[in-house]
A = this chain, B = another copy of it.
Amino acid sequence: LPQHFSFVAGDRGNWRITNMQAIRGDGLDDAASIDVVTGLDPAAPAATWTLRGFASNVRYATRPEVTMLRAVQAPLAREEARLAALIPIKKTAAWWDMAQDERRRMFEETSRHTAIGLEYLPAVARQLLHSRDLGEPFDFLTWFEFAPEHARAFDDLLRRLRATPEWNFVDRETEIRLTRA
């Protein structure tokens, strides 16, 4: 399975950008499309910007949570899932200074991040990529895919997550909405 992904923004790509919004902190430059490609070194000399990330092992979920997630989660590239969102997020130094048990407590026991996400499965397919360890401008890139009839549920998911205590540790967040090209 490919582990490394690059999101190349520019004039062309397999996903067309329909809206970009800086939720917190600096936004990203406008572009027409994003090309989602495997690897960390795409040949893209004309890119407006490129964001990179890697899929990795589970960082917070317990065995019961992993079992629940795997039972209901949907794969990417479903025929009907013509809409997508790319949400790059950077967390604060205070987040990264926390020990593992402190981050886990804030993530789940306090904010119910996994529990909230589970309510929107399998409608919203999700792939989390890690960027911070690559020295990238964001810490995480989350990619979501869903059918047009689930767009309102997806808005609801974002609204609920952004209202959690975990989001007090978000320094920068941009929301990019896309449609399959």
Contact = CB atoms under 8 A, between A and B. Distances in A.
Nearest to A4: B135
How many identical subunits does the complex contain?
2
A141 to B, nearest CB: 14
5 contacts: A56-B132, A60-B100, A62-B99, A62-B100, A130-B133
A65 B3 contact: no
Contacts of A96: 57
The size class of the interface chain A forms with chain B is 20 to 34
Contacts of A152: none
SS class, residues of chain A in contact with chain B: mixed
A120 to B, nearest CB: 21
B133 A102 contact: no
Contact of A133 (B61, B104, B133): B133
A176 B153 CA distance: 54
Contacts of A76: none
Interface string A91-105: 000001011111010
A62 B133 contact: no
Interface in A79-135: 96, 98-102, 104, 130, 132-135
Given A56-B133, A133-B133, A99 B61 contact: yes
Interface string A33-74: 000000000000000000000101111111101100000000
Contact of A100 (B54, B104, B133): B104
Given A61-B99, A100-B104, 15 more contacts: A4-B135, A56-B132, A58-B99, A58-B100, A59-B59, A60-B100, A61-B100, A62-B99, A62-B100, A62-B101, A63-B99, A63-B101, A65-B99, A66-B99, A130-B133
